[in-house]
Amino acid sequence: MNDKMTALIVKLSKEHSLSQEEYEYLIRHRSPEAAELLAKQAVEVRKRIYGTAVFTRGLIEISNICKNDCLYCGIRRSNHSCQRYRLREAEILSCCQEGYELGFRTFVLQSGEDAYFSDERMCRLIGEIKGKYPDCAVTLSLGERSRESYRRMYDAGADRYLLRHETADKAHYQKLHPAEMSFDNRMRCLEELKQIGYQVGCGFMVGSPYQTEAALAEDLKFIEVFRPDMCGIGPFIPHNATPFADRKAGTLELTCYLLSVIRLIHPAVLLPATTALGTIDHRGREKGILAGANVVMPNLSPVAVRKKYELYDNKICTGDESAQCRSCLAGRMKSIGYEIVTDRGDIKKI
């Protein structure tokens, strides 16, 4: 590792900020030694703030029906081989019940952009969940909606919203999405969610088609400036029935490297070791935690629908019961000296 690299890592650890050119250098000239130093610093920072606790979120995939046609996504509307489903309110509530008993204190309701889940339906559902489990956080991940819709769901009790920005480079965004989708609208949503008062999560895929080091540097600068409460990054993985079927997947190495960098940019950020990371490497989630992540998001969806929420090929955990997923992850975390906790897992204000 050269002196410039060492100096940049020291600067990042102290100041939590680099210029876009410096971020690009950090990515372009990375080496195993740089990755090791970044991970060491990232783990130190994360342990100072969160100790060895790993927060969990119970992910409930409420519908795979989507009006959008994102080129990378297995549940895009043009994928006619995808078997569509939508959970009923009672099914969602029974996932929460099971999750609560297993120790989850955050429920993430995720779906394609499905108009069936109108504001009225969502507000009723959020109200029911918060009424039954007042000690739990409700996180929504329903895509792009109007400010009014975000406000109504917030007023109904939703605490957090996950909306990956996907890429902070507008030209790159346009290569990943059809013309009717807009980068500006995605960014508008993120700003409004924050203004309304949600704890907001952004994020991006690592190794998505057409991604350059410069685009990744823009992602890092965006995270530094936007200061999300959560940041979801995971490797892009091709899905056989999408236009990107033949593209290469993102790597474990670069994803872990970026997890460490993001931890140093924003020390308290909630950073999941994603299912996609666990899909490209059988110990991917453990490696993500060892790079500085502090959250895991096991699946709480009914087993009967799991395979249908197939964003990418070979997604893991689609055949396991929720209890199995949780105990499997608890064991994995224990094997690396961390422990899953029963906690809402809010961001620590430092």
Residue ranges that bind ligand FES, judged by CB under 6 A: 66, 68, 70, 73, 75-76, 112-113
Residues in CB range of 178: below 8 A, 6 or more apart:
68, 69, 70, 71
Binding mask 271-290 for ligand SAM (x = CB under 6 A): -----x--------------
Residues in CB range of 237: below 8 A, 6 or more apart:
249, 250, 276, 279, 280, 311, 312, 313, 314
Strand partners, 233: 204
- Give the shortest CB-54-to-ligand SAM separation in angstroms: 21
Q: Which stretch in 108-116, 173-181, 257-265, 320-328 sits in contact with ligand SAM by CB under 6 A? A: 108-116
The span from the CA of 237 to the CA of 195, in Å, is 33
Nearer to ligand SAM, 166 or 286 (CB): 166
* Max CA separation in the chain (angstroms): 59
Which structure tokens are listed for 147?
Answer: 């400010």
Cα–chain-centroid distance for residue 163?
Answer: 8
Q: Which of residues 305-344 bind ligand SAM (CB under 6 A)?
A: 311-312
Nearer to ligand FES, 130 or 186 (CB): 186
Going by their DSSP bridges, the two strands 106-111 and 230-235 should be labelled as: unpaired
- Give the shortest CB-301-to-ligand SAM separation in angstroms: 13
236 binds ligand SAM (CB under 6 A): yes
Angle, alpha carbons 168-169-175 (nearest 5°): 120
Buried/exposed code over 22-45 (b: 16+ C-beta within 10 A; e: otherwise):
bbbbbbeebeeebbebbbebbbeb
- Give the shortest CB-305-to-ligand SAM separation in angstroms: 14
CA-CA-CA-CA torsion sign (194, 68, 233, 318) = positive
Contacts with ligand SAM by CB under 6 A: the residue count is 18
- Give the shortest CB-46-to-ligand SAM separation in angstroms: 23
CA-CA-CA-CA torsion sign (174, 160, 324, 62) = negative
- Give the shortest CB-60-to-ligand SAM separation in angstroms: 12
Nearer to ligand SAM, 13 or 279 (CB): 279
Residues in CB range of 140: below 8 A, 6 or more apart:
108, 109, 110, 122, 126, 153, 158, 160, 161, 162
- Give the shortest CB-111-to-ligand FES separation in angstroms: 7
Angle, alpha carbons 342-306-318 (nearest 5°): 75
Find the binder of ligand SAM among 35, 163, 220, 333 (CB under 6 A). Answer: 163
239 binds ligand SAM (CB under 6 A): yes
156 binds ligand SAM (CB under 6 A): no
345 binds ligand SAM (CB under 6 A): no
Find the binder of ligand SAM among 143, 201, 292, 298 (CB under 6 A). Answer: 143
Residue 236 near which of ligand SAM, ligand FES, none (CB within 5-8 Å, type-dependent): ligand SAM
- Give the shortest CB-70-to-ligand FES separation in angstroms: 4
Residue 149 near which of ligand FES, ligand SAM, none (CB within 5-8 Å, type-dependent): none
Q: Cα dist. 193→197, 224, 229, 264 in Å?
A: 7, 17, 12, 24
Find the binder of ligand SAM among 105, 152, 164, 172 (CB under 6 A). Answer: 164
CA count, 13 A, side-chain hemisphere, 270: 24
Residues forming contacts to ligand SAM in the complex (CB under 6 A) are 72-73, 110, 112-113, 141, 143, 163-164, 166, 205, 234, 236-237, 239, 276, 311-312
